Structure formats: C-alpha cells, structure tokens
Amino acid sequence: MLEELERIQTAGLADLEQATSEPLLEQWRVAHLGRSAPLMQVFDKFGSLAKEARPVIGKRANEVKRLLEARLAERASALHEQALVRALQSETLDVSLPGRPSQQGRLHPTTQTLRRIYEIFAEMGFQVYRSREIESDEYNFELLNIPAHHPARDMWDTFHTQTPGVLLRTHTSPGQIHSMREHAPNPVRVILPGMCFRYEQISARKEIQFNQVEGLAVGHEITFGDLKGTLTDFARRMFGDSVRTRFRASHFPFTEPSAEMDVECFICGGKGCNVCSHTGWLEILGCGMVHPVVLQNGGYDPAKFTGFAFGMGPERIAMLRHRIEDIRYFWSNDLRFLEQF
Ligand code: FA5
C-alpha cells in the first residue's frame, strides 16, 4: 500500500507538469484528488487494513494528499499570475501616446460683444430683462405711440405671421412696455437684449435679422443729462477713453426728445468711406426720453415719472470693435470668419 502511495504521488506530481492551463489543472484535480481518484480509493480501503498498518498508511496517505493539494494551490496561483501578466501585456494603455486633439469651439463675436455690454451695464446697475421675439402689433407699434398708418411703420416693416396682428418684432422696444407693466409703479433700470427682424434691403450695414440691446430707466427726476452721461460712459468703456461720439437730433414716436448716437468710423478714421456712407460716423444707437404716452401705457403717471430709453445694435458695435467691414459675415456661418474671434 505504501508503494502504491509512492506511485500515486510520483504520477500526480509528474502529471501536474502537464497542467499548463486552468482547464487542464481542473482536469488534473478531478483525476488526482477527485472522488474516484486512486488516492481517494486508498482512503476508501482504509477500513479493511490490518489494525497495525492503519497509522502508517493513514499518515502517509494524508501526507500525499496534503502535498498534492499544496502543489495544486501553487500551480493554480502561478497560472492565475501568468494569465494576469498576459492580460496586462496585451491590454496595456500606453499613456505616452499623444492624445487626439479635441475641437474647441468659441463664442460668436456677437455673443462676445453682448456679454461685454451686459458687464458694462451691470456695473451701472442695469438688470437683464428678456422679452419675446414674436410680438403683437399692439406691443411692437400701438403701445409705443405708433398707431396704424403712422409713417414710422414703413421704416420698421417686418415679417408677419399668418395670424393677423402677430409679427416678428422689429426692435426690442416692445420689451419696454412688458418690463414697465411688470415693475410699475416701482422704478426700472433694465437692458433688454434679443433678436430683431426687418423687411430690409440687405447691405454692408443692414441685415434682415440682427440683435438689439434696449435700455430703459424710469424713475423720479431722470433727465436727458442722465441719458447722455450713461451712453457716453458706455461708449468709453466699450471702445476706450479716446473714442469720439456725437448725439444727433432724431425722431422716434416713443421718445421725446429723441437722438441718435454715432461713433467715429473706424475704417476711414472719420474721413468718409462706403461703410459709413461717406459721413465719417457710424450710428450705433437710437435714444431719447420716454414719451409720456408710453410711460402711461407702461403704467406710470407721466406727471410724477420720467425716464430714458435707448436701443443699440451689438453687431454694429462688434464691427467697430473688431474692424469688420460687412455685417453679412455674422450670419454666413463661414468658419474662416468665425475662427478669428
Ligand atoms: C430702433 O429700433 C429704436 N427702437 C431704438 C430706440 C430705442 C430709440 C429706445 C429710442 C429709444 P433703429 O431702427 O435706429 O431704432 O435701430 C437701432 C439700432 O439697431 C441701430 O442704431 C443699429 O445699430 C441697429 N440696427 C437697426 N437696423 C439694423 C439692421 N437692419 N441691421 C443691423 N443693425 C441694425
């Protein structure tokens, strides 16, 4: 029996050399340590052995079993380690490879200019008030003191929807009424940015779709001096301290008195060119003191309240800041243009 145990041990260890993978090792375990393995049969026959032989055979059988089990465990962990090394080698991540460059977008020049405008007016205490792009005739014209058949409607002709009286706003001024009605009788100090639409002859300075930023301040004892001071300060912060500006008398049905503010033409330095229509100046905004009728439509008593308003074109301002000669670039989606900002 002892000899048989020696054979079992020798055969087991020799076979183990051939178990070069995890499935083969499992086969080996079944063959050498499984229920019907020769070693287990030795244990089964134990009861039929002579009493004196039992301790010797039992001791040796247990030694063989422990040895085979220990070698099995060693082999299993060696195979596991080999598998791990192979996996690490075949699946390595080479962190020294240069990464794929990711496409970086940037803000549209109008957005950049709009953000600068918000910053400047925020410093002066103006809040941003957002108003709708689709408007009623009432808000776009009537409540701004532009009744039906008023000649100013020609200047602000727009795109109409199939619903009578519903149109794309031609300016951000209808937002004045919305914000006044929301705030009255408290004072208001807001800017109203957003897209406007016009039935317009497209040119280097005119688009059918453009942004405006409206400004509105309503309160007690607000004067034209406040308006001029606010807008002159705005121009200095936007274009630099040396910028030359001028106010020209103008007419808007919703302000009285009314003016337009021009900035010296950046292309010709004031000499006159086709961008500034040979005037040397570029108009950037319209402005004035809020008309008493408009104040009333907004819910304020014109005997107690005054206010100023203005409406500027951020694309025109971006043209001045970046020396862009044609407004049509803004919506042409040409990356050669957009990537310059
Ligand atoms: C208005 O739209 C008035 N609502 C502005 C206003 C507000 C006056 C409050 C008084 C009080 P105007 O049509 O001039 O005014 O336009 C104002 C600005 O919008 C212009 O100075 C210009 O910068 C810009 N703008 C007007 N039309 C276009 C256009 N077709 N393309 C690009 N920018 C334009």
Position in ligand 1 atom list of the atom nearest CA 156: 13
User: For position 187, what pLDDT does the model report?
Assistant: 97
Q: pLDDT for 218-271, tens place per residue?
A: 999 999 999 999 999 999 999 888 889 999 999 999 999 999 999 988 778 889
Protein residues whose CB sits closer than 6 Å to any atom of ligand 1: 171, 173, 198, 200, 206-207, 210, 212, 214, 252, 255, 283-288, 309-313, 315-316, 327
Read off the amino acid at residue 300: Y
CA of 203 to the centre of ligand 1 (A): 15
User: For position 258, what pLDDT does the model report?
Assistant: 98
CA of 213 to the centre of ligand 1 (A): 9
Strands 281-290 and 255-264: antiparallel
CA distances 251 to 21, 192, 257, 291, 327, Å, are 93, 21, 7, 11, 25
Of 154, 176, 191, 203, the closest CA to residue 316 belongs to: 203
User: For position 193, what pLDDT does the model report?
Assistant: 98
Helix segments in the chain, DSSP class H:
2-18, 22-33, 38-45, 53-90, 109-123, 137-140, 152-155, 174-183, 224-239, 292-298, 314-322, 335-338
Model pTM score: 0.72
Query: How does pLDDT run along the chain (341 residues), one tens digit per residue?
Result: 788 889 998 989 999 899 888 889 999 999 999 888 888 888 888 788 888 888 888 888 899 999 999 999 999 998 899 888 888 888 877 788 888 888 888 999 999 999 999 999 999 999 999 999 999 999 999 999 999 988 888 888 899 999 999 999 999 999 999 999 999 999 999 999 999 999 999 998 899 999 999 999 999 999 999 999 999 999 999 988 888 999 999 999 999 999 999 998 877 888 988 778 899 998 899 999 999 999 999 999 999 999 999 999 999 999 888 888 899 999 999 999 999 99
Strands 245-252 and 188-197: unpaired
User: For position 2, what pLDDT does the model report?
Assistant: 81
Which residue owns the Cα nearest ligand 1 atom 28? 206
> Per 3-state DSSP, what percentage of the chain is helix, strand, and coil (rounded to 5)?
45, 20, 35
User: For position 323, what pLDDT does the model report?
Assistant: 86
